[in-house]
């Protein structure tokens, strides 16, 4: 705690003053263009990763960067996303998984979280990812298996995201775009899901997605 308190003092003395004008503007309201959904893992800092400033990102974090589909859970995730999409009018939503994810390891090895009933129940919203990997990635193990599951989970959560009414409405209008990212902690690399290739590619090779109608034509409703 002492380190955190010292950090606050340094923030007030060294960081706040140069940005005081920005914070004064932010006190009047926020206008982020991006909703960033990621894991609660302490090794991920969305603002550091994207070099964004206060007010740029509306951030939602939970174990496993999970978005429960519409109607199955009455939690903060749906409320946060609805506010970002319908009230703040964000233009982009990013779901960002990461390497070495403890939640994903628990998904693959339920015995690891058997003593954590709330977490075990929460991970049921990623069960489709586990089954996809079980049925299609039997040749993988270790870190490669975790990586494949992290990627599949991002795609599953994007599908869940599309079921939320506020998101579905904006997608139909064509003024909201969804993105699936995976952050590799040990290298700082970010990979994005590319619709054309059906693969996660380095972010430098990523093409901004087409409108939702074009996506539907190309994927027949599947991300």
Q: Active-site residue among 10, 15, 31, 43?
A: 43
* Per-residue pLDDT at 55 exceeds 50: yes
| Tokens coding 78 | 């749906």
With cut-offs at 50, 70 and 90, classify the pLDDT of residue 57: very high
Q: What is the pLDDT of residues 134-146, one digit of tens each?
A: 999 889 888 899 9
101 is catalytic: yes
Q: What is the pLDDT of residues 29-38, one digit of tens each?
A: 999 999 999 9
51 is catalytic: no
* Per-residue pLDDT at 215 exceeds 50: no
Q: Active-site residue among 39, 96, 125, 130?
A: 39
Residue 179 DSSP SS3 = strand
**pLDDT (average), residues 196-208:** 88
**pLDDT (average), residues 68-89:** 92
**pLDDT (average), residues 111-122:** 96
Q: Which pTM does this prediction carry?
A: 0.90
Q: What is the pLDDT of residues 11-50, one digit of tens each?
A: 998 999 999 999 999 999 999 999 999 999 999 999 999 9
Residue 141 has a CB neighbour count (10 Å cut-off) of 9
* Per-residue pLDDT at 214 exceeds 70: no
Output the pLDDT for position 206: 85
Q: Are 109 and 102 in contact (CB under 8 A)?
A: no
With cut-offs at 50, 70 and 90, classify the pLDDT of residue 121: very high
3-state SS string for 100-135: CCHHHHHHHCHHHHCCCHHHHHHHHHHHHHHHHHHH
Output the pLDDT for position 75: 76
> How high is the mean pLDDT of the chain?
91
15 is catalytic: no
45 is catalytic: no
Q: Active-site residue among 96, 98, 170, 177?
A: 98
Q: Which residues pair with 91 in a beta bridge?
A: none
Q: What is the pLDDT of residues 155-190, one digit of tens each?
A: 999 999 999 999 999 999 999 999 999 999 999 999
Output the pLDDT for position 210: 52
Output the pLDDT for position 219: 44
Q: Are strands 92-98 and 34-39 parallel, antiparallel or unpaired?
A: parallel
Residue 135 CA to residue 16 CA, distance in Å, equals 51
Output the pLDDT for position 155: 97
96 is catalytic: no
Q: Residues of the chain with pLDDT > 70: what percent?
A: 93
Output the pLDDT for position 207: 79
Output the pLDDT for position 184: 97
Residue 133 CA to residue 135 CA, distance in Å, equals 5
Output the pLDDT for position 150: 97
E strand segments, the chain: 34-39, 57-62, 92-98, 177-184, 189-194, 199-202
Which residues have C-beta within 8 Å of that of residue 80, sequence separation ≥ 6? 58, 60
- Only one residue has tokens 């964000």, namely 90
């Amino acid at each position: 705690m002492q380190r955190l308190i010292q950090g606050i003092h340094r923030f007030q003395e060294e960081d706040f003053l140069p940005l005081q004008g920005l914070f004064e503007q932010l006190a009047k309201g926020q206008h982020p263009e991006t909703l960033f959904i990621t894991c609660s893992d302490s090794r991920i800092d969305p603002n550091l990763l994207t070099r964004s400033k206060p007010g740029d990102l509306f951030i939602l974090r939970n174990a496993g960067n999970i978005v429960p589909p519409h109607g199955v859970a009455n939690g903060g995730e749906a409320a946060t996303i609805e506010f970002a999409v319908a009230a703040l009018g964000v233009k982009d939503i990013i779901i960002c998984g990461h390497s070495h994810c403890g939640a994903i390891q628990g998904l693959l090895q339920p015995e690891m979280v058997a003593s954590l009933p709330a977490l075990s129940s929460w991970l049921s919203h990623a069960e489709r990812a586990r089954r996809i990997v079980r049925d299609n990635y039997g040749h993988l193990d270790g870190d490669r298996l975790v990586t494949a599951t992290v990627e599949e989970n991002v795609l599953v959560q994007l599908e869940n995201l599309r079921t939320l009414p506020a998101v579905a409405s904006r997608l139909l209008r064509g003024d909201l775009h969804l993105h699936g990212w995976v952050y590799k902690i040990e290298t700082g690399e970010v990979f994005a899901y590319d619709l054309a290739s059906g693969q996660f590619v380095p972010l430098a090779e990523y093409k901004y997605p087409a409108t939702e109608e074009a996506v539907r034509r190309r994927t027949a409703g599947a991300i």
